[in-house]
Amino acid sequence: MSKEEILRELREGILSYDEGRVKNAARRALEEGMDPFLAIKDGLTPAIREVGEKFERMEIFLPHLMMAAKAMEAGVEVLEPALDKSQGQKVRLGKVVIGTVQGDIHSIGKNIVAMMLKAAGFEVIDLGVDVAVDKFVEGAERANADIIAASALMSFTKVMQRDLVEYMKAVGARQKYKLMVGGGPVNEEWAREIGADAYAEDAVKAVRAAKALLGIS
Amino acid sequence: MISFWEIARRAEFGPMMKEEDFDMRLARTAMELAKEHDITYDPSVYVSSDDGLADEVWQAGIELLTRCGVYNASNKRVIEIKEEEIKEALKHARGEIEVGKGKDRVRIRARGVEGSDPPTIISGPFGVETTIEAFVPMNQAFAQEPLIDVLFHGGHIQSLNGVETIRANSAFEVIAARLYAELMNQALVLAGRPFMPQVWIPGGVGDLNELAAEGAQIHNREDIFLTMLLLPELKVNDYKLSEVAHFMNFGHPIYGGATPVIGGYAGGPDTAAIVAVATNLALKLVARADLIHIGPQHFRYRSQTNPASLWMNSVMGQAVARNSKLITTTSVTTAGRPGSMQMHLEAAALAICSVVSGRNVTGPRPAQPLYPNHHNPLHSRLFAEVAKAATRLKREDANEIVARIVSTYKDTLDFEKSPKGKTFEQSYDVKTLKPTEENLKLYEEARAKLIDFGLEIEG
């Protein structure tokens, strides 16, 4: 299999949401002596970006995004151990710990943001719903995260985003992590008022905001 | 119908599954069913007239529920539902329910597609933070609107005695829930409709709110619907099932709601229509809903009046109305905010779409309110007039009128672009409870515009 054929196989595997196909192509890349960094950079990454763009245009939806992200993860899992250290750092844009705040069990919006961040190349640790402020910080510490992202879908739970800022300050974690907030009742003004670093109205903007926070163009 | 005890037993002992696997099974099954039943979204249509499509969506919805079940997110178990159990529940559906007392007693019916019977109007200051000062006048102003049959007041008290925002599950929330019930009684007495039927989501989401409100004697009252919400998609948790048990213990009618999300696990508008039909059924069997409320939500717009939500709502509504006697209503949330022409027009579009598709209507409310007390009863007045006028329409005519209306707002559905609107205090004289001249003028202009678009509004 030529390099071009392997790259095509990786791309088509992602675009057809086929985990097995991506895994096989990734194995083949290593067997053929292909640079694993290039397999990710020129094979998987453009394909997952394409998936993200289709989602943005509403041509595909969350289930497709999830299947594509799973296929991407399967490929990276095969290729990652073969990367040298400096290459490994380049593959992941950054780590994001994400969750819905305490008292709130809405998950879909948060899951869409998590998937779009994954598709963009971030490593995402999803803490789930009803997440207490200390669990956000513990999760970020455990993962050595760059960003904490907190979602709130109700006006009487968005106050937990403010509490998260206060808790981070109280335990000396505010300067360690960038903080993004989002959700139905949340807006730019609220984010500014509570002292968050960024607000994103939707998943597409969340990716842009996360990149901007880490200085990635 | 299968007993609630049996549902609770299955929720306790059903097969276990990872939540992510349930989500993906549901998504994949809906996609397979859309293919098998040839169900495809047509973006050029807002109100479908295709009976065959509605029936295929109905059948696919039943298959989805029987193949996937309902997920209990608390203990990771699946409540399995059999097709014969769905059919048996449908066979015994009553097709109407009476709520309220005296002159405000209302009969809410399962409506038919293009049915000429008037839809029940469920409306009020739902889903917006309310200050203690505005609570009674605002609810009174809504209750005084004669076309509102059932007052929907899931708003909650925003602040108390210097506590600026009452947090979910805090002690303040329990106190506010009790106070909420007391003040609601006052508002209805002042409106002269003390036993007007109500839909209640008392004070927020806290586990103790229902019990807290008991202090104000809201229980054992057949005029009060209590609300149980299914989580998207086809999920419950232990707390929600406990709510059902509690409501049943007190003999309340149950208002079962859910918002299938287009673009979420439900997929595109076509697969979401299938999921929405399954959700109507799950609300009947699992949530024991006497009145089924569906919000045709969209992941991008986060409101329900966009073209995809309109189509999904019409197909789902017709599927349920053509094949069952379930009593249903559609939730109407708008991107335009109270006090704007856009909110009037968005609400009209979804009201027309829902009524000709065989549903009652609930709303309107802003999807993203910006201020406390961000409501305006004049929106409910026009919404009710439009819903009643829609009973004289055929679906083809409704589609044309809705298309004209949608063309006025389709480019400003993003919250950043949609009008910010005004608060209740800016739209009403809070002492006399009369709308301001500007507010009344806006209502009249919106009304005239809808008449121009071809809707025959009475009066």
- A103, A108, A187 member nearest B205 (Cβ): A103
Confidence bin at B61 (pLDDT 50/70/90): very high
Q: How far apart are CA B323 and CA B317, in angstroms?
A: 10
Confidence bin at B178 (pLDDT 50/70/90): confident
Q: Is the pLDDT confidence value at B202 over 80?
A: no
Q: Is the pLDDT confidence value at B171 over 90?
A: no
Tell me the residue length of chain A: 217
Instruction: Say if the Cβ atoms of B299 and A187 lie within 8 Å.
Output: no
| pLDDT of res. A154 | 81
Instruction: Say if the Cβ atoms of B264 and A66 lie within 8 Å.
Output: no
Which residue on chain A is closest to B416 by alpha carbon?
A201
| pLDDT of res. B206 | 55
What is the identity of the amino acid at A1? M
**CB-based burial, A75-106: b 16+ in 10 Å, e otherwise:** bbebbbebbeeebeeebebbbbbbbbbbbbbb
The DSSP secondary structure of B127-195, one letter per residue, reads TSEE-HHHHHHHHHHHHT-TT--EEE---EE--BTTB-SPPTTSHHHHHHHHHHHHHHHHHHHHHT-TT
Average pLDDT over residues B377-393: 98
Question: CB distance from B294 to chain A under 8 Å?
Answer: no
Test the A interface: residue of B20, B68, B169 with most A CBs within 10 Å: B169
Question: Can you tell me which residue has the tokens 């002042």?
Answer: B190
| pLDDT of res. A179 | 97
Q: What is the token pair recorded at A124?
A: 């995402």
Q: How far apart are CA B282 and CA B62, in angstroms?
A: 10
What values do phi and psi take at B308, rounded to 5? -65, -40
B118 vs A106: which has the higher pLDDT: B118
Q: Is the pLDDT confidence value at B169 over 80?
A: no
| pLDDT of res. B417 | 94
Instruction: Please state which of the ranges B145-159, B275-289, B406-420 shows the lowest mean pLDDT.
Output: B145-159
Confidence bin at B109 (pLDDT 50/70/90): very high
Q: How far apart are CA B256 and CA B355, in angstroms?
A: 19
Q: How far apart are CA B109 and CA B112, in angstroms?
A: 9
Gap from B263 CA to chain A (nearest CA, Å): 5
Gap from B25 CA to chain A (nearest CA, Å): 10
- A156 CB neighbours in chain B (<8 A) are 129, 156, 165-168, 173, 204-205
Across chain B, mean pLDDT equals: 93
| pLDDT of res. A84 | 82
- The Cα-based distances of B151 to A73, B121, B214, B222, B258 in angstroms read 50, 9, 19, 14, 19
- B129, B302, B416 member nearest A184 (Cβ): B302
Average pLDDT over residues B129-136: 90
Instruction: Say if the Cβ atoms of B265 and A63 lie within 8 Å.
Output: yes
Confidence bin at B203 (pLDDT 50/70/90): very low
Cross-strand bridge partners of residue B79? B70
Gap from A126 CA to chain B (nearest CA, Å): 12
Instruction: Say if the Cβ atoms of A155 and B158 lie within 8 Å.
Output: yes
Q: Is the pLDDT confidence value at B145 over 90?
A: yes
| pLDDT of res. B223 | 81
- A151 CB neighbours in chain B (<8 A) are none
Give the distance from CA B97 to its chain's centroid.
17
pLDDT tens, per residue, chain A with 217 residues: 899 999 999 999 999 999 999 999 999 999 999 999 999 999 999 999 899 889 989 899 999 998 998 899 899 999 988 888 767 666 778 999 999 999 888 888 898 899 889 888 899 999 999 999 999 999 999 999 999 999 998 878 889 999 999 999 999 999 999 999 999 888 899 999 999 999 998 888 899 999 999 998 7
Instruction: Say if the Cβ atoms of A63 and B168 lie within 8 Å.
Output: no
Q: How far apart are CA A29 and CA B149, in angstroms?
A: 67
Bond into B233 cis (ω within 30): yes
Pairing of strands B434-435, A95-100: unpaired
Instruction: Say if the Cβ atoms of B368 and A202 lie within 8 Å.
Output: no
Q: How far apart are CA B109 and CA B251, in angstroms?
A: 20
Q: What is the token pair recorded at B406?
A: 């949608």
Question: Can you tell me which residue has the tokens 């696919």?
Answer: B60
Gap from A87 CA to chain B (nearest CA, Å): 31
What is the identity of the amino acid at B256? G
Question: Can you tell me which residue has the tokens 């232990």?
Answer: B238
Angle B253-B254-B258 from CA coordinates, rounded to 5°: 160
Instruction: Say if the Cβ atoms of B370 and A187 lie within 8 Å.
Output: yes
Size of interface A-B (CB pairs under 8 A): 85
Question: CB distance from B208 to chain A under 8 Å?
Answer: no
Q: Is the pLDDT confidence value at B181 over 60?
A: yes
What letter does residue B223 receive in the DSSP assignment? T
Query: What whole-number percentage of chain B has pLDDT above 70?
Result: 95
Query: What whole-number percentage of chain B has pLDDT above 90?
Result: 77
Comparing C-alpha atoms, which of B229, B234, B286 is closest to residue B258? B229
Average pLDDT over residues B37-61: 98
- A187 CB neighbours in chain B (<8 A) are 368, 370, 415
